[in-house]
Structure 1
Amino acid sequence: MIYLETERLILRDYEEKEEDLYYRLKSDDKTMYYLQDIKLHSVGDAREDFQNMLQDKDSDNRKFYFLHMMLKESRQQVGSIGYTATDQTPLGKLVHLGYFTYPAFWGNGYTTEALKKLLEFAFTKNGVYRVTTGCLKENGASEKVMINCGLIKEAEHVDWEWHDGKMKTRLEYRLLKHEWEGINGTDHTKVADQRCQ
């Protein structure tokens, strides 16, 4: 089980009893406004999605690493953050990152705090080589999180995606393991053999 702590947050794998929390978060209109492709629309869909995630968590070839994000003091759910492993290469995993938080917690730096910890886990303990993510250009808050965590802009796709009744421009960001090590002053020879248990 993955369990990470920051100054204000706990990031950990979801537990079986948290299906309702998972559904409420991923069906919330404001929270999922920019993530319509993974928004949940029914309890049945939520149950199937959640059970698949729990089964994957215990598999030898785990693919989904999305963590429950909550406040340390109150144990309130803030949102979810994580990545999906899309490929395994000789240099490490290629993953696609995502995050979503309840509007009540926007503007407090929680997502940036969580992402910095998640990247540390990914590159030092989970054998990740490349992280990719992106957002619609109009979603400046999400792009700011990426920039604050050291991710590097790779592309701007003009009129790339149909969203909320119009074509919108999408930005793509990345971070490679050696780039993260350069930002964080990490000696890669000390962490090269570390893997998630």
Structure 2
Amino acid sequence: MEISTVRLRLREFKEDDWHFTNLYEATEEVMRYQTSDIRSGKESREYILQCLAEAKEEPRTLFDLAIVLKTTDMLIGRVGMKVDYDAEEAVLWYILNQTYWNKGYTTEAAAAMLRFGFDELHLHRIWADCDPRNTGSYRVMEKLGMRREAHFKENIFIKGQWCDSYVYALLEHEWKQASEPSADKA
């Protein structure tokens, strides 16, 4: 599976991609708000092998893709969705090498996943969550047109402390309405 955007290719992981994912997974600044701790090279490799195995499952419920710059073929992060076909919804996530923050890559990759989820998988709802202290993450959700549905207080225990969560979501008809060209936009 591969999805192309203006600047990015979202593709299946390859076994040796762990060298690149570990560049950010071993960084405290990148992993600060993640549920997992910083990863060793071995842990990054195991995660990639897990992604490769789950990509072969039928029906496929996990779509965890490498974010690759078209200009340099550099792997700079990952974007993914876990699909619940019975509920017609998915949870969206993303993580990016800090060198590439604030350049619009995360928003571009996540928008491509939303398009895939709504247009190809015909999902009704896609949601995402983040720690409220992670302003970059919830700003991406807002740029995507997602709305904040909840602010859960101390609902998850991560790295030795209780943390809050913001939950954002977007419905298929909201996505289609925002994606339609209109006379006002012309």
**Range class of TM-score, shorter chain:** 0.7 to 0.9
2:12 is matched with 13
One-letter code aligned to 2:11: R
CA gap of 1:38–1:62, structure 2 versus 1, over 3 A, is farther
> TM-score, normalised on structure 1?
0.81
Give the number of aligned pairs.
181
Alignment of structure 1 residues 105-116 onto 2, 5 Å: 105-116=100-111
1:69 is matched with 67
CA gap of 1:142–1:77, structure 2 versus 1, over 3 A, is same
Q: Sequence identity of aligned pairs in percent?
A: 26
Report deviation, 1:142: 0.9
2:184 is matched with none
Report deviation, 1:67: 0.8
Report deviation, 1:152: 1.2
- Residue aligned with 1:7, SS: coil
Report deviation, 1:70: 1.5
1:88 is matched with 85
Alignment of structure 1 residues 6-45 onto 2, 5 Å: 6-35=5-34, 37-39=35-37, 41-45=39-43
How large is the Cα RMSD of the aligned pairs? 2.2
Distance 1:124 1:56 in 2: 22
Report deviation, 1:98: 0.7
- Residue aligned with 2:51, SS: helix
CA contact (8 A) 2:94 2:106 kept: yes
Write out per-residue CA displacement over residues 137-188 of structure 1, whole angstroms, 9 at most, x where no aligned residue.
Answer: 12111111101101111001233344566544321111121221111128xx
1:117 is matched with 112
Alignment counterpart, residue 99 of structure 1, candidates 77, 94, 97? 94
CA gap of 1:25–1:61, structure 2 versus 1, over 3 A, is farther
One-letter code aligned to 1:158: K
Gap runs ≥5 in structure 1? 187-197
Report deviation, 1:78: 1.7
Alignment counterpart, residue 138 of structure 2, candidates 120, 137, 143? 143
CA contact (8 A) 1:40 1:46 kept: no
Report deviation, 1:29: 2.1
Write out per-residue CA displacement over residues 53-85 of structure 1, whole angstroms, 9 at most, x where no aligned residue.
Answer: 112212222121111002110112221111112
> TM-score, normalised on structure 2?
0.85
- Residue aligned with 1:182, SS: helix
1:159 lines up with 2:157 in the alignment:
no
- Residue aligned with 1:75, SS: coil
One-letter code aligned to 1:114: A
Distance 1:40 1:51 in 2: 17
CA gap of 1:52–1:165, structure 2 versus 1, over 3 A, is closer
One-letter code aligned to 1:113: E
One-letter code aligned to 1:81: V
1:192 is matched with none
